[in-house]
Amino acid sequence: MVYFTKNLMKTPVLTSGIQPSGVLHIGNYFGALRQNIALGNQYGGYFFIVNYHALTSVNNREELAQYSFDVALDYLALGLDPAKANLFLQSDVPQLGELTWIFLCLTPVSLLEKGVAYKDKIANGLSPNAGLFTYPILQAADILIYGGTLVPVGQDQKQNIEICRDTAERFNRMFAPENPIFPMPEAYILEDVAVVPGLDSRKMSKSYGNTIGIFDEGSVLKKKVMSIVTDSTPLEDPKNPETDNVFAMIRLFAAPEKQEEIAAAYRAGGYGYGHAKKELLGLMNDYFGEAREKRRALAQKPDFVRDVLRDGAQNATKAAEAHMVKVREAVGLMRV
Ligand code: ADP
Ligand code: TRP
C-alpha cells in the first residue's frame, strides 16, 4: 500500500497539480488522485488544477473552463475534504507567473532540452511551443511558491521533480546561501501502483483514446468494459490471470479474497473473458457508486464548488505572497 518516505516523520507541506486537459480516467485515479486525497485529508496541503499547464495543449476556452471545473468536482466527489486541504485553480495565484519568470532566468536551456516529457509530447504530435518547453519550470514554481516539501506524483513525473530540486538548489545558492528560502522537495511515488492498462492494453492515457472515465457509468461504461482487448483462448480452456488485461483491472477494484477467487476461476477453465468483464463492471459500479451520487449532488451546487476554489486560492495566495516577499528581496526586485 502507501509507503511512507522519511520525510513524513515531520509534517510535510504537500503540493500536487493535475492538468485539466481531458476527462479524468481510472489511470489518473489509481496513479494520482487516490493518494492525493488520502494524503491531503491527513496532512492538508495545496492541490491545484493546473490550467496554465493545460494551455500548452488545450486551446479551446470552453473546454479548458469545463475540464477545470470538472477536476474540482471529481476531487470533491472522490472525497477531498476542503476544510483540510486547499483546492484551487493554478491561475488564481498571480504570484506564480512572477516566480516562474525569475526561475526561467536562472535555468540553462540545456537543462530543459533534456526534458523527457517534452520530447514525448512532441513525438506524440503536440506543437513544440515555448510553454511546453518551459513546462517543468512552471511546475517547479508551483511546488516551491508554497514551500512544498512533498509532491505526490506518478512515476512519469520523476524528472520534473528533479528539475524542481535543481531549481530550488540553484536559487538558494545564488541568492540566499546563508538562509535558504526554498526547502528541498521530495517526490512521493507509490512504488506498488502498477501502470493502469487501457482498453487496448497500452498504458491508459487520454492521448491514446483508450480510457475509462472515473465517472463513466451505464451503457457508456458497459460498452467500454466489453471492448477491453483480450486474447482468443476458448471459454473452456484455463487462462492466465497474470497476463490478462481484464484481470489487471479487476485487481484494482476487488478485495484480495475476491481477486483470488476470480484468479482461481481463470486457472480452472470454463470461465470466459465475458464473465470476467461482467464481474469487473459490477466491481466498478460498487467502487464508485457513492462518489457518483456525491458528484451528481455537487453538480447541482456549482456555487459551493466555486466557493471552495475561491477559499483555497485565498489561502494559497497568502502562502505564495509570504515566499515572494523574500524572493523579491533576495533577487533585488525591491522598490529603489
Ligand atoms: P494522461 O496520460 O491521460 O495524459 P496525465 O499525464 O495527465 O495523464 O497524468 C496525470 C497523473 O495521472 C500523473 O501523475 C500520472 O502519473 C497519472 N497517470 C496517468 N495515466 C496513468 C496510468 N495509466 N496508470 C497510472 N497512473 C497514471
Ligand atoms: N506535470 C504534472 C502532470 O502532468 C502536473 C503538475 C503541474 C504538477 N504542476 C505540478 C504535479 C506540481 C505536482 C506538482 O501530472
Task: From 46, 51, 53, give the residue whose CB has the most ligand 2 atoms within 8 Å, as the site to mutate.
Answer: 53
Whether residues 282 and 168 fall in one domain: no
**279 inside domain:** yes
Q: Is residue 205 in contact with ligand 1, taking CB distance under 6 Å?
A: yes
Grid cell of 209 as nine digits:
483514446
Q: What is the pLDDT of residue 207?
A: 84
203 tagged catalytic: yes
Nearest atom within ligand 2 for CA of residue 15:
14
CATH classification at residue 148: 3.40.50.620
Nearest CA to ligand 1 atom 15: 154
User: Do both 192 and 227 map to the same domain?
Assistant: no
Mutate to test the pocket of ligand 1, among 156, 190, 203 (most ligand atoms within 8 A of CB): 156
Residues 224, 210, 254: CA angle, nearest 5 degrees: 60
Is residue 10 situated within a structural domain?
A: no
Looking at residue 4, what is its pLDDT?
45
- Ligand 1 centre distance from Cα of residue 16 (Å): 13
Nearest CA residue ID for atom 15, ligand 2 = 18
Write the pLDDT tens digit of every residue in 161-172: 999 999 999 999
Q: How many CB atoms lie within 10 A of CB 28?
A: 24
309 inside domain: yes
Average pLDDT in the 93-105 region? Answer: 98
Q: From the CA of 18, how far away is ligand 2's center (Å)?
A: 6
Tell me the β-bridge partners of 213: 25
Is 121 a catalytic site residue?
A: yes
Instruction: Determine the residue type at 10.
Output: K
Q: What is the pLDDT of residue 156?
A: 85
CATH number, domain with residue 236: 1.10.240.10
Q: Say how far apart CA 40 and CA 153 lie, in whole Å.
A: 13
59 and 89 both lie in a single domain: yes
Q: Ligand 1 test: best mutation among 14, 28, 58, 205, most atoms within 8 Å of CB? A: 28
C-alpha cell recorded at residue 176: 540566499
Question: Residue 89: what are its φ and ψ, rounded to 5°?
Answer: -85, 135
Grid coordinates of 181: 528560502
Over 50: is that where the pLDDT of 237 sits? Answer: yes
Residue percentage of the chain with pLDDT more than 70: 96
Distance of CA 238 to the CA centre of its chain: 37
**DSSP string for 30-99:** IIIIHHHHHHHHHH--EEEE-HHHHTTT---HHHHHHHHHHHHHHHHHTT--TTTSEEEEGGG-THHHHH
Domain that holds residue 98: 15-196+302-331
Do 147 and 282 fall within a single domain?
no
Q: What is the pLDDT of residue 8?
A: 56
Q: For the segment 222-235, what is each residue's pLDDT rounded down to a tens digit?
A: 999 999 999 999 99
pLDDT of residue 6 exceeding 50, the answer is no
Whether residues 50 and 143 fall in one domain: yes
Asked if the structure places residue 6 within a domain, the reply is no
Q: How confident is the model at residue 192 (pLDDT cuts 50, 70, 90)?
A: low
Q: Are residues 291 and 306 in the same domain?
A: no
User: How many angstroms is it from 295 CA to the middle of ligand 1?
Assistant: 21
Taking a C-beta distance cutoff of 8 angstroms, is the pair 133, 115 a contact?
A: yes
The closest of 273, 278, 156, 276 to 205, measured between CA atoms, is 156
Judged by average pLDDT, the poorest of 3-7, 24-28, 216-220, 316-320 is: 3-7
Amino acid at 150: L
88 CB-near residues (< 8 Å, 6+ apart) = 46, 47, 48, 49, 309, 310, 312, 313, 316
Q: Which of 157, 130, 106, 114 has its CA nearest to residue 55?
A: 130
Nearest CA-CA partner of 124 in 90, 161, 156, 162: 156
pLDDT > 80? residue 79: yes
Indicate whether 210 belongs to any domain.
no
Residues 187 and 223 grouped into a single domain: no
Contact (CB, 8 A) for 309 and 92: yes
Verify that 100 and 239 share a domain, yes or no. no
Task: Tell me which ligand sits closest to the C-alpha of residue 23.
Answer: 1
Residues 259, 184: one domain?
no
Residue 272 shares a structural domain with residue 229: yes
Ligand 2 centre from 248 Cα, in Å? Answer: 26
For residue 334, the model assigns a pLDDT of 83
What average pLDDT does the chain have?
94
d(CA 132, CA 243): 36
Q: Which ligand is nearest to the CA of 31?
A: 1
Q: Would residue 206 show up in a list of annotated catalytic residues for this protein?
A: yes
How many domains does the chain contain in total?
2
Has residue 3 been placed in a domain? no
16 close to 161: Cβ distance less than 8 angstroms: no
Q: Residue 208 domain-assigned?
A: no
Residue 171 vs residue 154, higher pLDDT: 171
In a domain, 96, yes or no: yes
Is the per-residue pLDDT at 331 higher than 70?
Answer: yes
pLDDT of residue 9: 57
Ligand 2 is surrounded, with C-beta below 6 A, by: 15-19, 50, 53, 139, 142-143, 151, 153, 157, 160
7 pLDDT above the threshold of 80: no
pLDDT band, very low/low/confident/very high, at 1 (cuts 50, 70, 90):
very low
Pick the ligand that lies closest to the CA of residue 194.
1
Question: CB–CB of 199/212 below 8 Å?
Answer: yes
Q: How far is the CA of 87 from the centre of ligand 1 (A)?
A: 19
Nearby residues of 119 by Cβ (< 8 Å), 6 or more positions away: none
Q: Quick one: 253 and 317 in the same domain?
A: no
* 192 and 219 assigned to the same domain: no
Taking the CA atoms of residue 204, residue 209, residue 215 and residue 220 in that order, the dihedral angle to the nearest 10 degrees is -120
Region 258-281: mean pLDDT is: 96
d(CA 331, CA 328) in angstroms, rounded, equals: 5
User: pLDDT tens digits for 35-76?
Assistant: 999 999 999 999 999 999 999 999 999 999 999 999 999 999
Confidence of residue 125 (pLDDT cuts 50, 70, 90): confident
CB 330 within 8 A of CB 105: no
How far is residue 302's CA from residue 187's CA, in Å, rounded to a whole number? 33
> Distance between CA 57 and CA 64 in Å, rounded?
10
206 close to ligand 1 (CB < 6 Angstrom): yes
Quote the DSSP letter at residue 201. Answer: S
Instruction: Please report the pLDDT score of residue 130 as a whole number.
Output: 95
Q: What is the reported pTM?
A: 0.94
Q: Ligand 2 centre from 280 Cα, in Å? A: 30
Yes or no: say if 323 and 181 are a contact pair by the CB < 8 Å rule.
yes
